[in-house]
Copies of this chain bind each other. A is one copy, B any other.
């Protein structure tokens, strides 16, 4: 039916007052008598008035939309991030425009430009590994590792790793293998650093799958390490953990009876596999809330200060250890079910 939506002046006409007054009343600037303001609001409701964001944007220079730049939408962690950001933004009355910096750093730059062209008031960037985002002419909140310069908010990856390390130590593991993907990833180093710190009394060995020695040959073979006495395998992500888990199972090494496998991120499949994966989870909603709050504040005070990376917060959100069943080696742990919501399997496909 595409009814032409009522505009502000229509409310004004009906009430025989000026558009300015309607605008003031609706924006709650308080320059209107309580009584009149109430009548205006009622009329607006009655007419189903929805302000034109385009007009407002043109006038105020603010669109009420922020951009979300992700290194790769295909990233399995993306749903968690996007969902948390979308929720927080919606609560803050902001729209979220997404952009995928798929592939290259160049693509990241393009994505940022694309968003700017679309007039976002600010953006949240999960930068590509090793990337820095310069001044882009609008406020930016970065979600990265706490050790990254320019970071605004992030989970406490080191602390999360420490929790996991303590857990494994308590279970009695003495030889633990730590498996990382990219040796120059700050996040991965933070995570494994925490694990190592908690396992100072045990034997740990760290291997990086992107190292030359690994890249050649058939790569990593968990059974080999198992034969060497390693009973626990700590990976830097659940995807890697899944890989190790199924490898071991496939080779007849029981998990958690004979070996323990754990990951990070609590990806949606972590609770679906048998045995369920023990993992370390970030509090994405908290990260998102902080990022949005910082961004919003920066947008609001933007007029005064120059637009810059939002550095106000620099928060470090704690991580949570999610103990499930893969906790060997002697199966001490019965595995509590996690309290938080997991991805609804029901909506998998319809």
Knowing A71-B347, A102-B83 are in contact, say whether A268-B76 is a contact too (CB < 8 A). Answer: yes
Stretch at the interface among A111-119, A167-175, A310-318, A328-336: A111-119
Contact call B350/A185, Cβ cutoff below 8 A: yes
From 94 to 143 in chain A, residues with beta carbon under 8 angstroms from any chain B beta carbon are 95-100, 102, 114-119, 127-130, 135, 137-138
Minimum Cβ distance to chain B for residue A214 (Å): 13
A99 to chain B: closest residue by CB: B86
Known: A54-B58, A55-B58, A65-B97. A306 touches B83 (CB 8 A): no
Interface size range on A against B: 35 or more
> Copy number of this protein in the oligomer?
2
Report Cα–Cα, A128/B236, bound state, in Å. Answer: 34
Task: For the complex, give the distance between the alpha carbons of A34 and B82 in Å.
Answer: 46
A53-101 contacts to B (CB < 8 Å): 53-55, 57-58, 63-65, 71-80, 82-83, 86-87, 90, 95-100
Selected contact of A83 from candidates B73, B116, B117, CB within 8 Å: B73
Q: Are A243 and B274 in contact (CB under 8 A)?
A: yes
Q: Is A240 interfacial (CB-CB < 8 Å)?
A: yes
Pick the contact of A347 from B72, B274, B275 — CB < 8 Å? B72
Apart from A54-B57, A78-B82, list 6 A-B contacts with CB within 8 A: A74-B83, A75-B347, A86-B98, A86-B99, A130-B350, A252-B252
